[in-house]
Chain A
């Protein structure tokens, strides 16, 4: 069983489009995260939700809007995609807020044409 699963794995789209990435965890964790991994491999936190409540929003453009319908799901919607949005986006979860370790999904590679 996959602990943290993301869909889709690859996303190729045109500049200006709107797209969503879905994430689900079956670990029973309370906290979920979105990270962006750029071409230099830095993983930077974007958002964190604890029991469906937003607790971290790291200077991310308003075009990015996370949504957590329940504590097992955290989706990421991106409006008006730009070239600079090309990256790999990882979803992660942890048992509780600030809990360790974090469990990661396998990432969604977003390519903007």
Chain B
């Protein structure tokens, strides 16, 4: 069964302290892996799509990478405004379905 596991559940960083979030997945025929940001009381906001192992995408302080079994979201020199829950999702052979992880709640202290 297609599945997504994210770790850690929560992460507290000091402003400027770089770190990585992990997304491990099992899926039949990966069509895409997605990263979303979710702020409290809001819907998920799309960040990146990765399609194949070795691919990398960057946006400001965020960089997403993909291997055959997992994806990392690297956060370089984070700021308090980066505080949010980061969700990972995969789309497999059944392209109509997207499977989400439970997210990593990031808190960046000034």
A contact set with B: CB distance below 8 Å:
4, 40-45, 48, 55-56, 90, 92, 97-98, 100-107
Which B11-53 residues have a C-beta within 8 angstroms of A?
31-32, 34, 41-46, 49
Q: Digitize B68-83: 1 where CB-to-A-CB distance is under 8 Å, 0 elsewhere.
A: 0000000000000000
Given A100-B49, A101-B49, residue A56 in contact with residue B42 (CB < 8 A):
no
The CB with the most chain B CB atoms within 10 A, among A48, A100, A106, is that of A100
Contact of A106 among B43, B89, B91, B103 (CB under 8 A): B43
B contact set with A: CB distance below 8 Å:
31-32, 34, 41-46, 49, 85, 87, 89, 91, 95-98, 100-103
Given A100-B34, A107-B42, residue A41 in contact with residue B102 (CB < 8 A):
yes
Residue pair B103, A41 in contact (C-beta under 8 Å): yes
Bound complex: CA A71 to CA B70 (Å): 35
Given A98-B91, A100-B49, A101-B34, residue A107 in contact with residue B97 (CB < 8 A):
no
Residue pair A100, B97 in contact (C-beta under 8 Å): no
26 A–B contacts from the bound complex (CB under 8 Å): A40-B102, A41-B87, A41-B102, A42-B100, A42-B101, A43-B44, A43-B87, A43-B89, A44-B100, A45-B98, A55-B96, A90-B43, A92-B43, A97-B95, A97-B96, A98-B91, A98-B95, A98-B96, A100-B34, A100-B49, A101-B34, A102-B98, A106-B42, A106-B43, A107-B42, A107-B43
